[in-house]
Chains A and B, each alone.
Chain A
Amino acid sequence: MTAAVTGPPSLRNGLSAARSGALRETCARLAEADDAEFGVRLLGNTPTHEARGPEELERWAEAATAFGTELAARAGPHGGAGRTGARVVERDGGLDALLLARYVSRPVPTVELYTDTLALGEELAGWLGWRTWFAAGALRGAALAHEEAHCLLHGDAALRRALRDRLGHSALRLGRLRIPGHVAGADELAAHAYAAARCGLGRTPLLLTAALASAVRALGED
């Protein structure tokens, strides 16, 4: 008699051949999309942008990504959540909640890393042959860098203002008076670009995020 072994879902033994083939196809299709397209998707999925045209979303995605990349260049090589003073906590339950990482500012600034999602992400990157884009262990670093960007933006009003100015959106225009408007989701996109630049990723983390979402769905269906 053997005891049942339970653990995080795995792509190698958790998927039927048909489902596995379908997942590879989906991920290959995702990889064909341009990185900018993922930025547009993220903004498009953010509430308040329902009435925005694709050109406007594309312009904002480009500006937010450039801002995040430049912020990473300014931050220098000695980053990490520790630099911002945030505590790092590892936990599971990410696959159920469809989360990879979370930043909370209270009671103390904390970065929560969902280890089950990170493990599946690492396995997926290897399984799909995406190691040239996402090196082993890079996802954890990207998650830390992503939340570090949120931490930086949260604690620095000037930085938030700079991002808003970069996006160039107006909430109100009365003659010469112009009130700059906030673009929901732009900070998230900037954080992804920051993470990609800090960790030297070959593609946007949003590509792996979308692939992970497909993998979780496939594992749930099998």
Chain B
Amino acid sequence: MGIVILLLMLAGVGLMLARKLPTAFALVLLGVAIAAVSGAPLTGKDSIVDTVLQEGSVTLAATMLAVLIGSWLGKLMEETGIAGTLVRKIVEFGGDRPTVVALGVLAVSALIGTVTGSAPAAMMAGIIGIPAMIAVGVPKTTAAGTILMGIAAGMPFELPVWQFFSTALDLPVDTVRGFMLKLFPFAAAFAVLFVLVESRRRGVAHTWSLTSADERPSGGARRRSRARRLGDAPWYALLAPAVPLVLALGFELAIIPSMLAGVLYALATTTRPREMNKRLLRTLYAAFEVAAPPIALFVAIGILLAAVKLPGAVEALDPLVKAVSPANPFVFVLVFTVLAPLCLYRGPLNVYGLGAGIAGVLISAGIYPATAVLGLTASYNQVFGVADPTSTQTVWAAQYSGVSPQQVMVRTLPYVWCVALGGLCVTAATRL
């Protein structure tokens, strides 16, 4: 039976890779199919309808809400000019030194990456950040990589990610926070190293572009007139992305209240009282649109997790997974470091795909403690979040910079692979 489940998983990966089915739909089908072949009844205890579909779909509800509030704060930062002002100030302070500008944009991306992830974070930091870096001479691939490495450096402090790992792996938030604090130095160090090394290797590039003297399009004129009306956000408003982090990390406040405090701070520091209601509602509704893809994915991951935790599935997969999972810490690090690229191209170790199911199997079969699986998945998340040419943030950042996602993958993979290695070493040393 275990073999059948593995074959089903393989078919699911095939469907995702071939883009025959969107990831979320493929995961739901996979969850239902795994439950069916594991002998789960249709209704009742440990069943397809009541356990997998009903309970599974809301398992990650807290994560979904955190993602929504993160997107809300992101939209608010975009609309009030907080994100744009941060990038503009960096260019003004360090503009004639491209490396300084890239390091500054990296820091802003990391800050934004603590609030929200994926494509919305890349857009918020990159819409002004990427052309600004290119304008001061940073080569295109380096500019795209800087945004992605920055977001990944902020990811260990992304509160919705804490919530996701806490719920999905059934771990206290404190435990997740503890590991993320250990992962952060690797993510930050390699992000800075990426900027320094790539700036040194690639130098600067200046182009005489035919579009530089184009008449401004009418849509652009509207945007500029709005930007002029808004002006720069006040300096104290620029602290908004740090507010949730300070509350959750420094004061150990719960995740959702911390994020709501960030929303209120951004609003209060940028908006006149009579406009507050309107702006809050407008940005909240816009946030639903931004958060829709990850929320759909979290519903599907919840369903898959519920399926692989069914007693029949655990019993079937236990001997197979035990046979191939290394117990020795050195072999653990070696094997899982070598396997890291399997989280690319929607591969089987992608944490926001089948990887979540595999993580569920590893825990429910008792092969590794949940804390070790946290280390494994959080380390892989670093690779996937930056270098996967099929992930939305990588595709967006690459195309917006005028290069291909594969070019970005080739340039960033060595750095994020090292981050994953660091995370796996910490895991092996402290959790196995």
Could you list which residues of chain A lie within 8 angstroms of chain B, going by C-beta atoms? 38, 41-42, 44-48, 50-53, 98-107, 117, 143, 146-147, 150, 154, 157, 160-161, 163-164, 169, 171-172, 179, 181-185, 187-188, 191, 206-207, 209-210, 212-213, 216
Contacts and interface: CB of A to CB of B under 8 A. Distances in A.
Contacts of A150: 206
Interface residues of B, number: 42
A82 B342 CA distance: 48
11 contacts: A41-B216, A45-B213, A50-B224, A51-B81, A99-B208, A102-B206, A146-B208, A160-B96, A163-B96, A164-B96, A185-B135
Contacts of B323: none
B214 A184 contact: no
A172 B88 CA distance: 12
B212 A47 contact: no
Given A51-B227, A209-B212, A181 B92 contact: yes
A154 B203 CA distance: 10
B57 to A, nearest CB: 42
Contact of A100 (B135, B203, B208): B208
Given A51-B230, A181-B93, A182-B93, A147 B206 contact: yes
3 tightest Cβ-Cβ pairs between the two chains A and B: A182-B95, A106-B203, A105-B203
B228 A188 contact: no
Given A100-B208, A172-B93, A216-B210, 16 more contacts: A45-B212, A50-B228, A99-B207, A99-B209, A100-B210, A103-B207, A106-B200, A106-B203, A117-B210, A183-B95, A184-B136, A187-B96, A188-B212, A191-B206, A207-B213, A213-B210
Nearest to A195: B208
A143 B201 CA distance: 25
Interface in B392-419: none
B232 interface: yes
A99 B87 contact: no
B70 interface: no
Contact of B210 (A48, A106, A209): A209
A184 B132 contact: yes
Contacts of A45: 211-214, 216
Contacts of A185: 135
B321 interface: no
A143 B210 CA distance: 12
Given A45-B216, A51-B230, A206-B213, A103 B94 contact: no
Contact of B135 (A38, A41, A184, A209): A184
A101 B207 CA distance: 6
Given A45-B216, A182-B93, A184-B91, A50 B84 contact: yes
